[in-house]
Amino acid sequence: MQYFFDHLVWFFKHPEKAISPLNEKGLHVVKGGRHEPWGTYNTLTYFGLSYIEFLGIENLLIAEKHDENRLITQIVEQLAKENREGPATIAIRTNQIEELAIKLKTEGLTVYGPLAGERVRADGQVIRWSLLFPEYAENKVPLPFFIQWEKSDEERYLELEKQGVIGSHIVGQPKLESVGFVVNDLDKTLEIWSKMFGLKQGEEYIDTELNARCRSLVLNSTNLLFLTPIGDGPAATVLKEKGETPFLVNLIDTYQSHFFEMLDGYWRFQ
């Protein structure tokens, strides 16, 4: 079963207000559209087919009605109740979502979905997909959710390219090299994720800027980087304040070297 990184979901009260700060850093951002049945809306920044989604709540009354869509229950909990913005979860792309649901259930996970999803784009076009949310009953480690798009990768890429969504950044031709997660137990988390998804582990190293032990899982298009703090620093602060969560965006081919905090998350341009 093949997996591809799809997108990082970044909870943000007003997604349109993410556009200006990102533009100032040389990143191209577009208004995505509305998920009317879920009460949410978004803005998007693309790096090929890997992208970051800034997701906000448009209608809380609608959003609060959902229980199977665990992304919506999560955003209601974190954004509406806890007032907590920032990177929240990732979506991994698959073309075998039904088979994956069976596999994960067989392995003893609680599985929500596949659920149908759609977004009404600014130009009125409706984009459709299916979502799958696996969870451990004992919540051993936070897991990603899965997405299967109605259209093929080739069709989606050509459409995005035609719309000028892809390849329009000022800051070089950036690629989303990896998304970083801070976790309590690096070894345990890697063991669970690598076994579940059959992903190869990279070599461990120390990131002195984040003051953390680091190791990556190699995923098609964008890697997953896991970090456990070894002392005070940004990784330790995020873990203390937010718990285990994605928190870091690593962009390469930006023709600069810059590490900074923005929009309640950390960014590294290389």
pLDDT in tens, 199-253: 999 999 999 999 999 999 999 889 999 999 999 999 999 999 999 999 999 999 9
The answer to whether residues 180 and 262 belong to one domain is: yes
With respect to residue 64, please indicate whether it lies within any of the assigned structural domains.
yes
Query: In this structure, what CATH number is given to the domain that contains residue 193?
Result: 3.10.180.10
**Any idea which residue has 């690593």 for tokens?**
250
Residues 44 and 128 in one domain: yes
| Single-letter residue type at 48 | G
Question: Are residue 29 and residue 115 in the same domain, yes or no?
Answer: yes
Domain assignment present for 199? yes
The answer to whether residue 168 sits within a structural domain is no
| Same domain assignment for residues 128 and 16 | yes
Considering 112, 140, 162, which residue would you say is the last residue of a domain? 162
C-alpha 145, offset from chain centre = 9
| Residue 131 forms part of a structural domain | yes
Reported as a single tens digit per residue, the pLDDT across 62-90 is 999 988 899 999 999 999 999 999 999 99
**Residue 167 in domain:** no
- What is the pLDDT, as a whole number, of residue 139? 66
Q: How many domains does the chain have?
A: 2
Instruction: Answer yes or no: is 75 within a domain.
Output: yes
Residue-level pLDDT at 236: 98
Q: What kind and span of H or E run contains 211?
A: none
Is 169 domain-assigned?
no
Q: Quickly list DSSP for 40-104.
A: EEEEEEEETTEEEEEEEES-HHHHTT-SS-HHHHHHIIIIIIS---EEEEEEEE-S-HHHHHHHH
Q: What is the pLDDT of residues 33-73, one digit of tens each?
A: 889 899 999 999 999 999 999 999 999 999 999 888 999 99
Shared domain for 221 and 97, answered yes or no, is no
Q: Does one domain contain both 138 and 84? A: yes
Nearest to 210 by CA among 167, 177, 239: 239
H/E segment holding residue 106: helix 97-106
Q: Which element (helix H / strand E) includes 120?
A: strand 110-121
Domain edge (last residue) among 134, 162, 190: 162
Are residues 235 and 149 part of one domain?
no
**Strand locations in 122-222, DSSP E?**
126-135, 145-149, 175-182, 200-201, 205-207, 212-218
Please state, rounded to an integer, the average pLDDT across all residues of the chain.
93
- Give the tens place of pLDDT for each residue, 97-143: 999 999 999 999 999 989 998 877 767 778 899 999 999 877 667 89
Segments in 107-245 forming alpha helices (H): 153-162, 186-197, 234-242
Q: What is the CA radius of gyration of the chain?
A: 18
Give the end of a domain, one of 162, 187, 219. 162
Residues 100 and 233 in one domain: no
Does 187 share its domain with 264?
yes
Q: What pLDDT is recorded for position 126?
A: 84
Q: Are residues 22 and 156 in the same domain?
A: yes
Cα(194)–Cα(87) distance, integer angstroms: 22
Query: Is residue 108 included in any domain, yes or no?
Result: yes
* Whether residue 125 sits in one domain with residue 232: no
pLDDT score for 140: 64
| Position 262 confidence tier, pLDDT thresholds 50, 70, 90 | very high
What does the angle CA 33 – CA 224 – CA 34 come to, to the nearest 5 degrees? 10
Rounded alpha-carbon distances, angstroms, from residue 182 to 168, 190, 248: 30, 12, 9
In this structure, are 25 and 130 located in the same domain? yes
Q: Which positions ≥6 away from 153 have C-beta within 8 Å?
A: 4, 49, 93
Task: Give the domain extent around 245.
Answer: 175-269
